[in-house]
Structure 1
Amino acid sequence: MRPEQKALEAVRALDARNPIVLIDGPSGAGKSTLADGLIRAWPTDAAPQLVRLDDLYPGWGGLAAGSHQVATELLAPLRESGAGRWRGWNWAAGRPADWHEISATRPLVVEGCGALSLASAPHADLRIWLSADDAVRKRRALARDRGAFDAHWEMWDAQFTEFVRTQHPLALADLVLDGTPAPSSVS
């Protein structure tokens, strides 16, 4: 069964009106693709809101800050008061951008490296960890960003390794999936 199908089954099994779903894993594992597929196939009429951490990391060194923002500015207030927010990052200008409001009146999917942390996990209804073969991940990530990520790969990977070491996202996950494509069968 494909990761999208497994994630959708897990969403259908939730006993939550407007669930919060976190999707985390290393760069290039397929988190954005999984989130997009999940949203397209969402089992209720209430279309989910989507927050991509790529839109809020404060620059290439901002994985920990983005993860912190999701937990403290978005998820905790969303659970406590029914409204949360996140601040975008203007990558071209290298500075903060606009704030975006999120309401608890619709489901929420948050995807990106650092989405599933010790601080964010208690606020989610479903916590997904997506992995993939390292060579596949790197190829995907570098191809996706058409050269913009190349010079930052090692620094980003080191930040992610530190995040995993301190936050233990795999242990926090309810569902662990593999985003490595199945080998093609040749007849």
Structure 2
Amino acid sequence: MSSAPSRSNPDPIDDALTAAVAAVTARIVAVGAANPAVVVDGRSGAGKSSLARRLVSAWPGRGRVQLVALDDVYPGWDGLAAGVEYARETILLPHARGLLGVWERWDWDAGARAEAYAVDPSLPLVVEGAGILTPDIARLADVSVWVESPSASRRDRALARDGDTYRPHWQRWARQEDVHIDRHSPAERADLRVRVP
């Protein structure tokens, strides 16, 4: 009997994310920067966070990689555009200019900014979140990724993750994503497009 894992029941999501990490990693290597900035955009539940975490774990270089999730930045349920602009000003722009960036986490319960975090411009940076791939941010990113997934799959994953906290806000958030997509065409702007089942 073989000790190799059975592939009779492959996990298509795992396979898609593994392939995506390989493609993004190859792009990072091709850029050749010591401190590249990577942005990962996509609608809620598409797989951005999973891809970003795997990418950081498989980073093709030595040293620490900084990961910022926009879920920690958006100022509330109506804050997609404001959160993206805040990330541009406090995280991505300083990083691109070789300056220390400082951002404050959004405390969803208190409805206010909380503790501060520094972004070291000498280290690689991954920023993931819906809305992040705008024209201004595309110019600051060394690699940009759009993650897409079927609506039903996205909704199931997002609500399994966040449950009743997110359920009443699903449509409210989706409308903000629609505005971002209509205004900025992130899928067409991305260096890489990734599909997660």
Same fold (TM over 0.5): yes
Q: CA deviation at 1:12?
A: 2.1
Q: Is 1:126 aligned to 2:126, yes or no?
A: no
Give the TM-score, by structure 1 length.
0.92
Q: Secondary structure in 2 aligned to 1:96?
A: strand
Could you tell me which of 178, 181, 191 is aligned with 1:161?
178
Could you tell me which of 34, 50, 61 is aligned with 2:67?
50
- Aligned structure 1 segments of 4 or more residues deviating by more than 2 angstroms: none
Q: Which structure would you say has the larger Rg?
A: 2
Q: Secondary structure in 2 aligned to 1:5?
A: helix
Question: How many residues in Structure 1 have an aligned counterpart in Structure 2?
Answer: 180
Q: Secondary structure in 2 aligned to 1:100?
A: strand
Q: Is 1:27 aligned to 2:27, yes or no?
A: no
| Kept after mapping to 2: 8 A contact 1:70/1:120 | no
Give the TM-score, by structure 2 length.
0.87
Give me the whole-angstrom Cα distance separating, in 2, the residues matched to 1:70 and 1:179: 25
Could you tell me which of 135, 138, 145 is aligned with 2:152?
135
For each residue in 1:63-88, what CA deviation from the matched residue of structure 2 results, as whole angstroms up to 9, or x when unmatched?
00011111122211221242222221
Structure 2: where are the runs of 5+ without partners? 1-15
Task: In structure 2, give the amino acid aligned to 1:65.
Answer: A
Give me the whole-angstrom Cα distance separating, in 1, the residues matched to 2:85 and 2:183: 13
Could you tell me which of 13, 22, 25 is aligned with 2:30?
13
Could you tell me which of 65, 68, 84 is aligned with 1:67?
84
Structure 1: where are the runs of 5+ without partners? 181-187
For each residue in 1:137-178, what CA deviation from the matched residue of structure 2 results, as whole angstroms up to 9, or x when unmatched?
010001100221100000000000001111221122000110
Q: Secondary structure in 2 aligned to 1:13?
A: helix
Query: Which structure has the highest helix share of the two?
Result: 2
Give me the whole-angstrom Cα distance separating, in 2, the residues matched to 1:121 and 1:83: 20
RMSD over aligned Cα atoms: 1.2
Task: In structure 1, give the amino acid aligned to 2:109.
Answer: A
Q: Is 1:82 aligned to 2:124, yes or no?
A: no
**Percent identity for Structure 1 against Structure 2:** 39
| Kept after mapping to 1: 8 A contact 2:94/2:121 | no
